[in-house]
Homo-oligomer: A and B are copies of this chain.
Amino acid sequence: MISKVVALAGGVGGAKLADGLYRCLAPGDLSVIVNTADDFVHYGLNISPDLDTVCYALAGLANPETGWGREGETWQAIHNAVQLGGPDWFNLGDRDLGTHLERTRRLRQGDLLSEITSDFARAWGISANIFPMSNDLVATMVSTVDDGELPFQEYFVKRGCEPRVTGFRFAGIETARPAPFMLEAIEGAQVVVICPSNPWVSIRPILDIPGIRQQIQGKHIVAVSPIIGGKAVKGPAAKMYTELGMTPSASTVAGQYGSLLSGFVLDRVDGDQTDKIRQSGIISFATNTLMSTAEDRERLASEVLDFCDRIIGGK
């Protein structure tokens, strides 16, 4: 039986599977390494969207309608800031603001993002280990056809992923170091699960932190496809593949992760791609991967863990 798992996750899709794994595993047995290349400063506050999405999901604080932000959220602060002329393109709920305020306060007093994240997780009653991929600043820059290079949140939220993409750059990644204790968590894991997050802008920054790819290469790695029937469940992943001249499909995702993978989980609707994936030496497993409910998350996580078990056992 699989017990120790490391999951790599970005935003909403990744948070959902991480939450499912969290429900399947014993306290302390799940570590989640979260993309922080989307982090930015807005209204003077340090915002880590993916870290918050993962933590809110695991803590049961997430808004079930949106998948991001807090349940029962109110919008007084941003409403008043916008009334004074402030930008309205990034949603800042009042409850969510409490997280940004305290994160900003602690970063300004010199604490590390990994310490802060760990303390927040504990305060929210989360028994999983939540790691920002790095305490060093890494910033995803999106190259576009018509608007040059855009900071990620400007591309993603302000421009609604509308500009045509030609590539990505992760500023600062060459010198970024894995967060403390993260390599040890990978070392102690039986399997690394790559959650159904955007391979371009959520998973790749994590893998490109010097030291992480090398560390996980010694492990069994299983990825879950974020592309179902040629479409992304949420976000611009499919659009990015098309704009970069690739067919958005589960097998494209599998090919992109390539030799890293021992196994690949794809949706039943893409079951005809298992042969193609097997040709590149990756064992695949088709099931229902759409996570609409909390039960879906737990059921998919459980199936992923069983699949990992079979891979490790060579069955």
Chain A residues engaging chain B, CB cutoff 8 angstroms: 42-46, 74, 76-87, 92-99, 101-102, 104-105, 108, 119-120, 123
- Give complex CA distance A82, B102 in Å: 8
With the chains together, A105 CA to B95 CA distance in Å? 20
Q: Give the contacting residue for A101; candidates B86, B93, B99, B102; CB below 8 A.
A: B86
The A interface, classified by DSSP as helix, strand, loop or mixed, is helix
Please, how many angstroms separate the alpha-carbon atoms of A51 and B96 in the complex?
26
Which residues of B have CB within 8 Å of A99? 80-81, 84
- Give the Cβ gap from A183 to chain B, nearest Cβ, in Å: 27
Is the pair A123, B84 in contact by a Cβ cutoff of 8 Å?
A: yes
Q: Is the CB of B74 within 8 A of A98?
A: no
- Given contacts A44-B44, A94-B94, A108-B44, is CB(A102)–CB(B76) below 8 Å? no
The count of identical subunits is 2
Closest to A78 in B: B98
> 4 closest Cβ contacts across the A-B interface?
A80-B98, A76-B94, A44-B104, A81-B98
Cβ B81 vs Cβ A101 within 8 A: yes
Count chain B CB atoms within 10 A of each CB in A76, A82, A123 and give the residue with the most. Answer: A76
Question: Can you name 16 extra interface pairs (CB under 8 A) apart from A76-B98, A80-B99, A85-B119?
Answer: A43-B105, A45-B45, A74-B76, A74-B94, A76-B94, A76-B97, A77-B77, A77-B97, A80-B96, A80-B98, A81-B98, A84-B99, A85-B102, A86-B105, A92-B101, A94-B94
Q: Which of B43, B94, B123 contacts A77 (CB 8 A)?
A: B94
A109 nearest in chain B by CB position: B44
Task: Give me 26 A-to-B residue pairs in the complex whose CB atoms sit less than 8 angstroms apart, sorted by A's number.
Answer: A43-B105, A44-B44, A44-B45, A44-B46, A44-B104, A44-B105, A44-B108, A74-B76, A76-B76, A76-B94, A76-B97, A77-B77, A77-B95, A77-B97, A80-B95, A80-B96, A80-B98, A81-B99, A81-B101, A81-B105, A84-B99, A84-B123, A85-B102, A86-B101, A86-B105, A94-B97
